[in-house]
Structure 1
Amino acid sequence: MCTSIIFSPADHYFGRNLDLEISFGQQVVITPRKYEFKFKNMPSLKNHNAIVGIAMVADGYPLYFDASNEKGLGMAGLNYNGNAHYFPVTDEDKDNIASFEFIPWILGQCGTVAEAKNLLSRINITNLNFKPEMQASPLHWLLADKTGASVVIESDADGLHVYDNPVGVLTNNPKFPLQLFNLNNYSNVSSAEPKNGFSKDVDFNLYSREMGSRDLPGGADSASRFVRATFNKFNAPVSDDNNKNIDTYFHILHSVEQQKGVDQVGPGKFEYTIYSSGTNLDTSDFYYTTYENKRINHIDIHKEDLTASDLITFPMLDQVTINDQN
């Protein structure tokens, strides 16, 4: 499964964990402004916002898992199996966009969540595949901008829903309103030591530190990760130092990462956190870590030619690195 957040200590950091049992040969991909995005049922975008994120490149086309643009708008698609519903192409007054085209369609044209909402009001997410052998993934999306605003987009059987997201977190099932409602069950969780609300006549021994967070769920399931990521995000320290904030951002994501061997999804198959990504939406600096390489890797998109027409790709550094200090 997956977890996505926007963390706003000073600048705004947006990205996600990608949790799967297999890798797709994904890369860091910069799509410059003059790369021609072609769509199944809509006119091409020949000039658009520059985009950076993690994608699998197929037939020269960047299939983005998550990305942000130079205007400070970010978007991530997360597994939404069993609920996601895509529709046939319609002749009604709608923009017919396939799910794999959704991220470039929005990020290519919009700079804020407010602008994206206008586009979303016309969108019909279609049930088309990139190729016959590449089935469309069942997804929902977190969309956020450098004001800190975020929304969740879910295409269900009863239509497209756009939910304002007051916590800036998304995982997987159930539907977003239920995930948000479930937070009510954890109102007693605290970063402070608990007070005795049981009875004034009963003495309690706080036998350990961190007792205030004892009821925080620790599972790898999506509901548990949603609660834990939200709690950790809102209790994370903030700094005036960008490096410290980006480090904290990755600590939040890593607090809900999945270890190999603990989440079996089939015979001999285990889901794990393949990578964690993040963009500073205020500067467009892109960062990532991988399962094997926890060093924070940085790509400055402004060092590249953003006026070009060809994709710019970087292999993900996924080898274990150990610093020998003596």
Structure 2
Amino acid sequence: MCTSITITSKEGQVFYGRTMDFNMGMFGEDPGTLTSILTFPKGSKLESQYTPWDSKYAVMGVGSKGTICLYDGVNEAGLSGDLQVLMECTHATSDELAKRNLTGLMAEEFVTYVLSNFKDVADIKEHINEYGLIDQPYKVAGQSIQVPAHYTFVDETGAKIVVEPTNQGGFKVYDSIGIMTNSPEYSWHLTNIRNYISLDNIDPKKPRQISKDVTLSPIEMGTGYGMFGLPGDYTSPSRFVRSTMISNHLDDFSSDDGINQLYSAFRTVMVPRGLERASKEDPLSDFTRYWAGYNLSERRIYVQTCRGIGFSTMKLDPNQKEITNTEIDMSNSAKELS
């Protein structure tokens, strides 16, 4: 379970973020991998487990420490994107991809590949039909995994797409409305959101006569009725609807308040630990392991982990020379007031 949201300030600056909801540890809180902020310089050789490549652009994002796998990130051109689970994802063998003249890529490395090779959404659209996902597990932390995934990308102009590998390893591309969650496929979500066309953010103040015998008055003079009927559970369709309606009814905001507004839009889709389990016996909970927000104009990331309320922030340096792994703050850091 994951959610991504994109919003734009009055000045036209784009802010993009995601929650990473997972049933595996990322910061030592449960068994799993270790997560940090990774940076890859322009021109660096990225050692893929399938076919290595050289990065055309400097890239920064949140990923698995000691690998080239980014879960989300931004490049020096202002293109950002993420990986989320899609159970309808397909893969193909190298021979099958070759017969279709498609270059194979690993699902787990796809975000890194796109951000290190393409400058904007238009660039991705022009070349995405040249690629497909290879049917090869990724080895990390002594395990072999194969993530069923789809991807969202947004650039600093506000152009947005969702890329889904549902065509026998090949990709389908959708223009995005600025929201992505998980299964079903994106086309289903775009249809389902129309079931909520009557939702608005206005509190009714007057009684409503629903028949000649019944008149209903709003509770508390209508307070809290904005978005009345908004689904409140943590399923992918409900998070999609909630994120769409909330992000599109925010007050206009300046760029200085962009990250704050972005974070506020995510509060209702952050999953507390313990609410989602595969079974009664499963000790691991599927919950929000981290939140990441990006100021695309500044090429800056903000990260908050499940281990603490502190934030880490870092700006991409397009002139850096070495691949780096930077630890993320896991503390409950706060200013002590006297």
TM over 0.5: yes
In structure 1, C-alpha distance between the alignment counterparts of 2:116 and 2:196, rounded to whole Å: 38
Structure 1 residue aligned with 2:247: 233
- Percent sequence identity is 21
Structure 1 residue aligned with 2:293: 278
Which residue type is aligned with residue 318 of structure 1?
A: M
Over 3 Å counting, the alpha-carbon distance change for 1:197 and 1:106 in structure 2 is farther
Normalising by structure 1, we get a TM-score of 0.90
In structure 2, list runs of 5 or more residues that go unmatched: 26-32
Which segment drifts farther, 229-238 or 203-212?
Answer: 203-212
In structure 1, list runs of 5 or more residues that go unmatched: none
Structure 2 residue aligned with 1:119: 127
Moved over 3 A (4+): 38-43, 194-202
Query: 1:2 aligned to 2:2?
Result: yes
In structure 1, C-alpha distance between the alignment counterparts of 2:306 and 2:73, rounded to whole Å: 19
In structure 2, C-alpha distance between the alignment counterparts of 1:196 and 1:170, rounded to whole Å: 37
Structure 2 residue aligned with 1:91: 98
Counterparts of 1:167-186 in structure 2, within 5 Å, are: 167-186=177-196
Q: Secondary structure at the match of 2:194?
A: helix
Query: 1:63 aligned to 2:69?
Result: yes
Over 3 Å counting, the alpha-carbon distance change for 1:241 and 1:160 in structure 2 is closer
Query: 1:32 aligned to 2:41?
Result: yes
Structure 2 residue aligned with 1:15: 17
Q: Secondary structure at the match of 1:270?
A: coil
Shift of 1:197: 7.5
In structure 2, C-alpha distance between the alignment counterparts of 1:320 and 1:21, rounded to whole Å: 22
Structure 1 residue aligned with 2:216: 204
Normalising by structure 2, we get a TM-score of 0.87
Q: Secondary structure at the match of 1:101?
A: helix
Shift of 1:109: 1.5
Query: 1:255 aligned to 2:268?
Result: yes
In structure 2, C-alpha distance between the alignment counterparts of 1:127 and 1:136, rounded to whole Å: 8
Which residue type is aligned with residue 91 of structure 1?
A: A
Which segment drifts farther, 289-298 or 139-148?
Answer: 289-298
Query: How many pairs does the alignment contain?
Result: 317
CA RMSD of aligned residues (A): 2.1
Which residue type is aligned with residue 257 of structure 1?
A: M
Structure 1 residue aligned with 2:85: 79
Query: 1:133 aligned to 2:143?
Result: yes
Which segment drifts farther, 29-38 or 137-146?
Answer: 29-38
Which segment drifts farther, 69-78 or 153-162?
Answer: 153-162
Q: Secondary structure at the match of 1:248?
A: helix
Name which of 53, 67, 72 aligns with 2:61.
Answer: 53
Shift of 1:196: 7.2
Q: Secondary structure at the match of 1:258?
A: coil
In structure 1, C-alpha distance between the alignment counterparts of 2:314 and 2:124, rounded to whole Å: 26
Which residue type is aligned with residue 86 of structure 2?
A: Y
